[in-house]
């Protein structure tokens, strides 16, 4: 059961029109491709994807699951949105509540075990190994954990285990952590335990795994075990960590390697032609998706599919998602441009000194210039740092052709 209904508000304007799991990552992927590919690579071929916030992009991406070979006669992928019921009708109010509302779906497959995943991390994990551990340890619930630095530990849910890996206690974002094993939000439940736990706690409002179900299981004396994961695991919950995780893909041999034959990551890819580089282009330390045409210069950037970069334009330390069009002689520095953004010619982005953003100081920071989906930036303007732009902006939105650092500019937000 893959939880993909969250907004991910810390990704700011990137999730204005799509749920966080649908946000593009690493040129041609979307975040949800990673858990979905893990599923099929681990032999999990019955997957329910729970959607709620802005599901359109997610639905069209998943379709019937062809890219992940999840188009099955039995099982396969099923998208599970909240639905109207006879007596009470509600949205998914919490992670566990969402699973509870889909009890029928799970029961129809008579599972022995249920794997609960969230759709917002970048990692490669063999769930099969976790399941073997679950079986061999005789656990009722297994929680995937990974060791983090002690000073980092206070940001996570921390599991305290005995020498057998049994969880004896846990604490949520502790001030003085007693262990460095952080919960990754990945659970395996024996189905009967899950069913009992959900049914008993059904009336709890905002029913959540971390807050309610796991404590209940401990109090009831069920066997809770921690399975330790070692490998790359990246939370892309904030714009800064999203940007960093993208940039890490560019390293010579990245810690998270997409180029391995083993454990491939699948995504819905359209038949797009190869990328073309013009006679005067330059490119270094970058990854580029299919169908892009690059006439300018690109350094240390992640470029999606079908992007067009005009001659004389210099792109540095930026993420340009699918189908962005950049004019000529522009300069882009630390820009995150969502899908279908059009940037004119002679534009300078990421110019000047940093200023704290006026609307989302915790979101738009670290010098990043974030542009929302389908936005338009006119020719010849200069834009500062920590800026957010969304909508078809006009030259008149830029006094003296300039948008200062820390500004937020929203125009014609449209349907949303």
Partner 1 sequence: MKAVGIVLAGGGSNRMRELARKRAVCAMPIAGFYRSIDFALSSLSNSHIQTVAVFTQYHAGTLNEHLSSSKWWDFGRKQGGLYTFTPAITSENGFWYRGTADAIAQNLHFLKECHEPYVIITSGDCVYKLDFNKVLDYHIEKNADITVVCKDMPEGCDTERFGTLRMNEESRIEEFEEKPVIARSNTVSCGIYVIRRRLLIELIEQCDAEGRYDFVRDILIRYRSMKRIYGYKIRDYWRNIATVEDYFATNMDFLKPEIRRWFFGTYPDIYTKVGDQPPAKYNVGAKVHNSLISSGCIINGSVEDSVVFKGTFIGSNCYIKNSILLNDIYVGDNSYIENCIVESRSTLQANSYYKGEDGVRIVEEMNELFVL
Task: Give me Rg for the CA atoms of the chain.
Answer: 23
User: Minimum distance from CB of 87 to partner 1 (Å)?
Assistant: 41
Number of other CB atoms surrounding residue 353 within 10 Å: 11
β pairing state of 167-172 and 46-50: unpaired
User: Minimum distance from CB of 277 to partner 1 (Å)?
Assistant: 4
Q: 265 vs 338, which CB is nearer to partner 1?
A: 265
Q: How many CA atoms lie within 13 A of 115 on its CB side?
A: 29
Q: In the structure encoding, which two tokens stand for residue 268, read together?
A: 């819905």
User: Minimum distance from CB of 334 to partner 1 (Å)?
Assistant: 19
Q: How many CA atoms lie within 13 A of 155 on its CB side?
A: 9
User: Minimum distance from CB of 74 to partner 1 (Å)?
Assistant: 19
Could you report how far apart the first and last alpha carbons of the chain are, in Å?
A: 28
Q: Which helix (H) or strand (E) holds 195?
A: helix 191-200
* Residue 208: Cβ-neighbour burial (10 angstroms; 0-12, 13-18, 19+): middle
Please say whether the beta carbons of 139 and 224 come within 8 A. yes
Q: 38 vs 386, which CB is nearer to partner 1?
A: 38
User: Minimum distance from CB of 378 to partner 1 (Å)?
Assistant: 24
User: Minimum distance from CB of 324 to partner 1 (Å)?
Assistant: 14
- Site for partner 1, rule CB under 8 A: 26-28, 66-67, 250, 252-253, 258-259, 264-267, 269-291, 298, 302-303, 305
Q: Which residues contact 297 (CB under 8 A, 6 or more apart)?
A: 281, 282, 283, 313, 314, 315
Q: How far apart are CA 191 and CA 391, in angstroms?
A: 46
Q: 191 vs 277, which CB is nearer to partner 1?
A: 277
β pairing state of 167-172 and 157-161: antiparallel
Q: 121 vs 308, which CB is nearer to partner 1?
A: 308
Q: 328 vs 397, which CB is nearer to partner 1?
A: 328
Q: 170 vs 295, which CB is nearer to partner 1?
A: 295
Q: 212 vs 308, which CB is nearer to partner 1?
A: 308
User: Minimum distance from CB of 124 to partner 1 (Å)?
Assistant: 13
């Amino acid at each position: 059961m893959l939880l993909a209904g969250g907004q991910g508000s810390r990704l700011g304007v990137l999730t204005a029109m799509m749920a966080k799991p649908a946000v593009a990552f690493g040129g041609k992927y979307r975040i949800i491709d990673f858990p979905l590919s893990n599923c099929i690579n681990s032999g999990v071929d019955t997957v329910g994807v729970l959607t709620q916030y802005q599901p359109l992009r997610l639905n069209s991406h998943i379709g019937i699951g062809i890219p992940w070979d999840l188009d099955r006669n039995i099982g396969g992928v099923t998208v599970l949105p909240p639905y109207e019921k006879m007596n009470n009708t509600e949205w998914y109010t919490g992670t566990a509540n969402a699973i509870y509302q889909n009890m029928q779906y799970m029961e129809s497959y008579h599972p022995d075990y249920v794997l609960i995943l969230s759709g917002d991390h970048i990692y490669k994990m063999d769930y099969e190994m976790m399941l073997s551990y679950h079986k061999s340890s005789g656990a009722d619930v297994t929680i995937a954990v990974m060791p983090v630095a002690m000073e980092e530990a206070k940001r996570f849910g921390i599991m305290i285990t005995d020498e057998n890996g049994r969880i004896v206690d846990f604490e949520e974002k502790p001030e003085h952590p007693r262990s460095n094993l952080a919960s990754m939000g990945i659970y395996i439940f024996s189905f009967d335990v899950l069913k009992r736990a959900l049914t008993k706690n059904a009336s709890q409002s905002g029913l959540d795994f971390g807050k309610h179900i796991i404590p209940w299981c401990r109090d009831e004396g069920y066997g809770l075990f921690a399975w330790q994961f070692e490998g790359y695991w990246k939370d892309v919950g904030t714009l800064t960590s999203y940007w960093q995780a993208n940039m890490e893909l560019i390293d010579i041999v990245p810690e998270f390697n997409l180029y391995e034959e083993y454990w491939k990551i699948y995504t819905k890819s359209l038949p797009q032609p190869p990328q073309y580089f013009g006679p005067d282009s330059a490119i270094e330390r970058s990854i580029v998706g299919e169908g892009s045409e690059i006439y300018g210069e690109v350094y240390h950037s992640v470029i999606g599919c079908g992007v067009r970069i005009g001659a004389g334009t210099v792109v540095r330390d930026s993420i340009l998602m699918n189908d962005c069009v950049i004019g000529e002689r522009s300069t882009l520095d630390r820009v995150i441009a969502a899908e279908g953004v059009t940037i004119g010619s002679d534009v300078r982005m990421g110019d000047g000194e940093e200023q704290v953003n006026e609307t989302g100081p915790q979101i738009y920071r670290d010098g990043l210039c974030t542009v929302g989906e389908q936005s338009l930036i006119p020719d010849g303007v200069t834009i500062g740092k920590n800026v957010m732009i969304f909508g078809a902006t006009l030259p008149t939105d830029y006094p003296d052709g300039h948008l200062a650092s820390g500004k937020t500019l929203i125009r014609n937000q449209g349907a949303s």
